[in-house]
Structure 1
């Protein structure tokens, strides 16, 4: 097995792993330390949310504490995870996400760029593009 194959597997697993942490955060379950989530992101991270708004790492980090417990019925389902490109340093991954709450369900397809950083135990998120599925 090559280093890039191992990283591809780790990157694919990271998609669900982060969403388990986020689901717990939104439901106010588990640790209330945002570092457990923020350490999974590169400091240069940015996201284009489904509405087309750019969110920087700093904006995400600043907003995260206020989101704890904000969606107590949230269930996040991840599927169709596919590594589209991988090198020793980065992986481009697509996946589907379903968010279920008592207020309704929404679906999105996302593309994430994850970096292989030697200073982090898991792949780190550098970029995320989310698109609503109608």
Structure 2
């Protein structure tokens, strides 16, 4: 496994720890969380909506403390491709909040040539079975 691949995998874990902290009310994690995204970041939500970085930042700011008790587990990180300093990585994300459970498969493109690695693209697909 290359150093860039390891950085991408670690970035997935760190980012989701920060997302869970923000959703659980730790506002001090909002700025560090947002520092992981490239200014031109684009996210495609499970419903197919495309969000640019300003919309993503507003979403996270609005959700500070909005999902108390949320736990996020990341599984099956798999590098799909590497292009120069960028890594395309797929992973499974499971969220649990009380009795509610969701499972999604995500594909991210992460620039691992900078510190912290910068997410350039994310597409999420809900798993229904």
Query: Could you tell me the TM-score, scaled by structure 2's length?
Result: 0.92
- 1:64 aligns to what? 60
Q: CA RMSD in A?
A: 1.5
Aligned residues: 128
Give the 3-state SS of the residue equivalent to 1:70 in structure 2.
coil
TM alignment of 1:1-134, pairs within 5 A: 5-29=2-26, 31-32=27-28, 34-118=30-114, 121-134=115-128
In structure 2, stretches of 5+ residues that fail to align are: none
The whole-number CA distance in structure 2 between the counterparts of 1:117 and 1:43 is 15
The whole-number CA distance in structure 2 between the counterparts of 1:86 and 1:9 is 12
The whole-number CA distance in structure 2 between the counterparts of 1:7 and 1:122 is 12
Deviations 1:24-49 (A, max 9, x none): 000013x5252211110000001101
In structure 1, stretches of 5+ residues that fail to align are: none
Deviations 1:91-115 (A, max 9, x none): 0000000010125101000000001
